[in-house]
Amino acid sequence: MSNIQLDIEWTEAASRKIEKLMPRGSQDAFLALPPVECLPMEGDVLFLGPAGKQQPFIVAERQYHHDGDADWTIILILDVPHSTH
């Protein structure tokens, strides 16, 4: 059985945007993502943020790292769409 860990990384622009939407320590500071088998691909757009304030983030890159044996890490690197930089 595989052990798959999911990490999300942010570009600098995306990090600033999500911090405004969901400041650290806020009650809304969590993200729910689909199961691993349904994860978005590069170029897909995710709408993240608290209810009614969701903003678009694009999956800039999706990386796979083999951590040994059956252990894997999937990293989604999120960015903001270019029109909002």
- Asked whether residue 29 is domain-assigned, the answer is yes
What's residue 42's pLDDT? Answer: 94
- Asked whether residue 84 is domain-assigned, the answer is no
Q: Cα 15 vs. chain centroid, distance in angstroms?
A: 10
- Asked whether residue 50 is domain-assigned, the answer is yes
Cα gap 66→12, rounded to integer Å: 26
Residue by residue, pLDDT tens for the chain (85 residues) are 678 888 889 999 999 998 888 877 766 656 777 777 788 899 999 988 888 888 999 999 999 988 888 898 989 999 998 854 4
- Asked whether residue 69 is domain-assigned, the answer is yes
What's residue 62's pLDDT? Answer: 92
- Asked whether residue 38 is domain-assigned, the answer is yes
Q: In the chain, how many domains are there?
A: 1
- Asked whether residue 28 is domain-assigned, the answer is yes
What's residue 18's pLDDT? Answer: 87
Range of the structural domain that residue 4 is part of? 1-77
Asked if residue 72 lies in contact with residue 5, where contact means CB atoms within 8 angstroms, the answer is yes
